[in-house]
Amino acid sequence: MSADPENEYFSDGITEEIINALTKVQGLKVTARTSSFAFKNKNADVRSIGQQLGVATVLEGSVRKAGQKVRITAQLIQARNGFHLWARNFDRELKDIFAVQDEISLLIADQIRENFGHLEIQDHLIAAPTQNIQAYNLYLKARYNHLKWDSEGISQGIRYYQECIELDPGFALPYFGIGFSYAMRASWGGNNSLVQTAEEYLQKGARLDDQSYLGHFTRATISFWGKWDFKAGHREYQQAMALNPSFTEAEEGLAELYTVIGAFEKAMHHTQNILVLNPLSPNHYYTKGNILFLSRQYEAALESLHAGLQVDPNFLFAIEMSQLCYIMLQDYAGLDAFLQAHPQAQRPHMCRALYKLMYPDEAVDIDLKNAGVLDKAGSGTDLFPWHLYLQIYLGHHDLALDMLEEAVRNQSGKLASFRYSPLLEPLHTYDRFDALVRETFHPSRLPEETTAAAAEASGKKSLDEREVEHYMNTTVEVLEQEKLYLDPALSLKTLAERLDLHPNKLSRLLNDHIGKNFNEFVNSYRLETFKVLALDPANSHLTLLGLAYESGFNSKTVFNAFFKKMEGKTPRAWLKAAQLR
């Protein structure tokens, strides 16, 4: 409710401190910063706010700062009927800002306890992080800017953090803020030199305060996004969550880590939880959408992404992920309408070009020659690796693998989920891709809880020679007699269930004794079936793609890539040559 926009950073900072203080009261659910701030400067009905946030009580107020004095107003309102439970004004000297924050937080907690039931409340909820009020003021400015999450805001935030450190070198929080800013800038742009800078600031801050949730969150960010160190990132995110259970950015980071390593169920569990605490966070809706996208649930992903865009129509991550969903759904009309409705999309021309490359038979009027980007290197500022996608679907797989290897070597955040990206499926048949997966996601690099679960589920005992021969014969027999490969939904797990064999053992059997991964093994049967169907004159009225689907292939891209890899030519060229024999 603060009237002066020049004091917005200060009001935001005070509000966030009170939110964090109240989360320390065990048993009290407090809506997180992002969702609370969604109602800032809006004249919304308190009952509507309570319903949208799922809360029984709303705290609102204002901060006015003039010189060395500050006035804070606060009122506690029952969301169900708009009844005012409590209201106070606080006129204080700026030097007493931490004491008044603590006083307000304790009074609010006490009022909630009086009106709703017992809570254990500590003697103090806020401690002064610095005695230098000017440094604290700069810290609030820095955090206000860096939480804008754009390049200009982060740059401005870094400058304010540095000024803050110069004023008070013993103040821990700005070290964490600047370390986090450098870590995020480094990870998304693939700039490893900035990771070291981020770590230097983190270490200085940790020496001053090793029990800060922001400190552990920063360390988690550097470990996970900056170094792809999944074990350390997992440990530090959990520590940050233990210190501040309502700090949903840390739990979001944990969900993102689980997503990258393929633990989608765990990732979704944490994402659903943060959406309860922070139901109006566009970031959290994007995190959920990303999990669904990587799980090939494109329509559900679009629903979540659109929910995020309802909160922030300019959220670029959600905009670009939505574009990919429309592409994977092969819905050009939907894609075109979406791009026209979101002119702020970064690479619409690339997006349209990618669609045309993936679905060349579709009557879409796109001039690839004039796209103007197909042969240029990508930009470190791109949120998504559009240039890599284009090279893949131009058929430049060696170049695409070079680009992917460089991105993995630099731990580029935009490709952290490369193992599960549907756009990268044409690269799955290459040994270079398999080598990247094995090195990046080796069990020794994963959090212990995930490797322990995997080990328990797999039963490490390998097959003996007799079992190998039995299961080899049975696998071939089942596939050929029951023609399971004609089912496009056939998976390693379903075939293993049919054989009464653990999926890990079947996978090892195929790789060690046949020399193929599951897709290569099954697609070889589909390829032979396609050849028979294509050469049968009775099928001359059918398209080659239709025959591929009849043979069990579930993707035009996979079919074409696998055919060319095995035969050295396109299906049409092969058929023409075969018919001339």
- For residue 371, what pLDDT is reported? 54
Mean pLDDT computed over 482-511 = 82
pLDDT per position as a tens digit, 35-48: 999 898 888 899 99
504-to-214, 456, 522 alpha-carbon distances in Å: 39, 11, 16
With cut-offs at 50, 70 and 90, classify the pLDDT of residue 1.
low
Spatial distance between the Cα atoms of 65 and 57, rounded to a whole number of angstroms: 26
CA dihedral 36, 39, 40, 41 (to 10 degrees): -170
Residue with tokens 């679905």: 359
Question: Hey, what domains does the chain have and what are their CATH numbers?
Answer: 5-128 (3.40.50), 135-440 (1.25.40.10), 465-580 (1.10.10.60)
Spatial distance between the Cα atoms of 418 and 388, rounded to a whole number of angstroms: 11
- For residue 121, what pLDDT is reported? 87
Phi, psi of 263 (to 5 degrees): -90, 70
pLDDT per position as a tens digit, 96-152: 999 999 999 999 988 888 888 788 888 899 999 999 999 999 999 999 988 887 778
Spatial distance between the Cα atoms of 485 and 491, rounded to a whole number of angstroms: 9
Q: Which helix (H) or strand (E) holds 535?
A: helix 518-535
pLDDT per position as a tens digit, 411-435: 888 999 999 999 999 999 999 999 9
Burial of 511 (0-12, 13-18, 19+ CB in 10 A): middle
Q: Name the percent of the chain lying above pLDDT 70.
A: 93
The model's pTM is 0.73
3-to-84, 255, 270 alpha-carbon distances in Å: 22, 37, 37
Is 220 within 8 Å of 230 (Cβ atoms)?
no
With cut-offs at 50, 70 and 90, classify the pLDDT of residue 346.
confident
